[in-house]
Amino acid sequence: MDITIGIQNVARELSIEVNEEAATVTKRVNDAITSGEALTVTDSRGQTIVVPPGAIGYVIVGAGESRRVGFGI
């Protein structure tokens, strides 16, 4: 599962691959925003990312896309 987090006042997005379901990730994001606690996500490599809830601009939760190879459309 791929997650993209847009941080306020930062031009670059955080792109994270996790081993969790979309519903679980969405609930964790909503809980972090409503409670005011930091959003903590552990990626598929075991690294932990902590994002303050006030800094979250947007979150995109979606299935991983298979990477294309070649010059096809």
In a domain, 67, yes or no: no
The structure's pTM equals 0.78
In a domain, 69, yes or no: no
Which residues are registered as beta bridge partners of 40? 50
Q: What is the CA radius of gyration of the chain?
A: 14
Give pLDDT, residue 65.
57
Q: Report the domain count for the chain.
A: 1
In a domain, 38, yes or no: yes
Give pLDDT, residue 9.
93
Domain extent at residue 26: 2-62
**Could you read off the pLDDT tens digit of each residue along the chain, which spans 73 residues?**
899 999 999 999 999 999 999 999 999 999 999 999 999 999 999 999 999 999 999 999 986 555 566 676 6
In a domain, 72, yes or no: no
Indicate the pairing of strand 13-17 with strand 39-42. unpaired
Give pLDDT, residue 1.
87
Q: Give Cα 9 distance to the centre of its chain.
A: 17
